[in-house]
Amino acid sequence: MMSSVEARLISGSDVSSEIYGELAQRIQALKSKSVIPGLAVILVGEDPASQVYVRMKGKKCEELGMKSVTIVLPRETTEKDLLAKVSELNADKSIHGMLVQLPLPNHINETNVINAIDPKKDVDCFHPANVGKMLIGDPGFLPATPAGVQQMLIRSNIETSGKNIVVVGRSNIVGKPMAAMLMQKGKGADATVTVVHSRTKDIASYTKAADILIVAIGKPRFVTADMVKDGAVVIDVGTNRIEDKDHPKGSRLVGDVDFDNVKKKASAITPVPGGVGPMTICMLMDNTVRAAENYAHR
C-alpha cells in the first residue's frame, strides 16, 4: 500500500554542510598548533570518472584551507614506480592522509599498493589493519561512503538500535563495511543486520522486512516499491548513468532504487544525486583531519 504522505528527503548536501562547519573549527585548532591537514591523491591513467572525483577532492581541500596534493601518473607507470611514490608520501610529514584512486590499470596489483600505504595515512580505510580495527569496533578511520551513510542516519534522528537493517550488496567498499559498522555497539549502530547480494534467492523477501534498507548493488532502479515495507527508511548508495532523450545531456543519473515510486511508500529516502554522494568526500575530509589530529598529538 502506498502512503498518502511522501517520504521526507535526507539530503547529503545538508548533512555534509553541517559536518564541514565542524571540520572548519577542527582545522583552525590544528593551524593554531602549526599543523595544516594535508591530503595526497595518486591517480594512475586518465579514467574520466576518477579525474572528476579527484578534482572534487582537491577543490574541497582548498575550500577548507587544507593542503591538497594531486599526483597524476601515466597509465604505463610500473607497480614498482607507484610503490616508490607511495613510500615517498608515507615519509612526507606534511601529508597526513593519502589515497590511491581505484581502479588501477590491470598490470598493477591493487592489494600490493593498498598494503604499502601507512595505515596511519590510509584515509580510504582499505588497509587490512584499518579494516580489522573497524571490524572489532576500534576504528582508526571509517570507510568514507559507509561512514557517510551512518552520519546521515544519526543526524536525521533515525534510530538504528534494535532495528532490522538490510544491506543490498557485499562490496568491500560499501556493503561489507556498512554491515560491520551497523552491528557494532554504539550510536548509529546496534542493529540486526542482513546482507543480501547477487546470489541471494528471493531478495525481496528480505528487503520487505527491513526497517532501514541500504542499497548498493550497482543496478539502476533495482529496488522497486513492491520490495519495500511501508514506512521504511531507504538509503540509496547507487549512482548509475542512464539514457534519457528528454534530458539536455541525453542521459541522467539515477540510483539503485526506483525513487519516484519508492518515495510514496518510505518514511524517509535519499535522492540521487544529492543524497549519499556528497557524503563520501565529506567523510574523506573528516578522516584526513582526524589523521592530522593524530599526528599533532603524537
Name the residue ranges covered by the structural domains of the chain: 34-118, 142-277
- Active-site annotation, residues: 57, 101, 124
Closest CA to 69 of 106, 95, 50: 95
pLDDT at site 4:
56
Tens digit of each residue's pLDDT (9 = 90 or more) over 12-47: 999 999 999 999 999 999 999 999 999 999 999 988
On average, the pLDDT of the chain sits at 96
Residues whose CB is less than 8 angstroms from the CB of residue 280 and which lie 6 or more positions away in sequence, other chains included: 144, 145, 148
Give the CATH number of domain 142-277; options: 3.30.450.20, 3.40.50.720, 3.40.50.2000, 3.40.50.80: 3.40.50.720
Residue (of 121, 168, 154, 144) closest to 57 by Cα position: 144
Q: Which three cell numbers stand for residue 26?
A: 577542527
Q: Which pLDDT score is estimated for 244?
A: 87
**pLDDT bucket at 55, cuts 50 / 70 / 90:** very high
Per residue in 85-119, pLDDT (tens digit) is 999 999 999 999 999 999 999 999 999 999 999 99
Domain 34-118 has CATH 3.40.50.10860: yes
Q: Do domains 34-118 and 142-277 have the same CATH topology?
A: yes
Question: β-strands 233-236, 192-196: how paired?
Answer: unpaired
Pairing of strands 164-168, 97-100: unpaired
Nearest C-alpha neighbor of 274 from the set 256, 255, 288: 255
Place of cell 611514490: 85
